[in-house]
């Protein structure tokens, strides 16, 4: 399988199945695309596996560890999470 210069063969980390995928990166090194790795035995992606860039860069993604003692909504009200 040929990889473009900005592509790497990696494991999808969205669920424990760990499918092999081909991740594409933009000029800043940010994840920009994911496609199935045709050289792996499965050679396909599930619907969730098609969307890692949207998930990784979502403005709603938690960027700090969650303090289990305090509900998330209270942490945001207190300004403890971005």
Residues forming contacts to ligand SF4 in the complex (CB under 6 A) are 12, 14-15, 17-19, 45-46, 48-49
What residues are paired with 22 via a beta bridge? 9, 35
Closest approach of ligand SF4 to the CB of residue 45, in Å: 5
| Residue appearing with tokens 């993604």 | 61
**Which tokens is 39 given?**
């050289």
The residue among 43 and 71 lying less far from ligand SF4, judged by its C-beta, is 43
Closest approach of ligand SF4 to the CB of residue 2, in Å: 21
Closest approach of ligand SF4 to the CB of residue 58, in Å: 15
Taking CA atoms, 5 is separated from 22, 51, 73, in Å, by: 12, 21, 43
Question: Measured at CB, which residue is nearest to ligand SF4?
Answer: 49
Helix (H, G, I), strand (E, B) or coil at 65: coil
């Amino acid at each position: 399988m040929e990889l473009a210069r900005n592509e790497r063969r990696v494991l999808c980390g969205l669920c424990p199945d760990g499918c092999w995928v081909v991740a594409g990166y933009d000029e800043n090194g940010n994840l920009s695309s994911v496609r199935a790795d045709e050289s792996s035995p499965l050679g396909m992606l599930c619907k969730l596996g098609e969307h890692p860039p949207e998930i990784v860069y979502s403005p709603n993604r938690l960027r700090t560890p969650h303090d289990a003692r305090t509900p998330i909504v209270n942490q945001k009200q207190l300004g403890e999470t971005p």
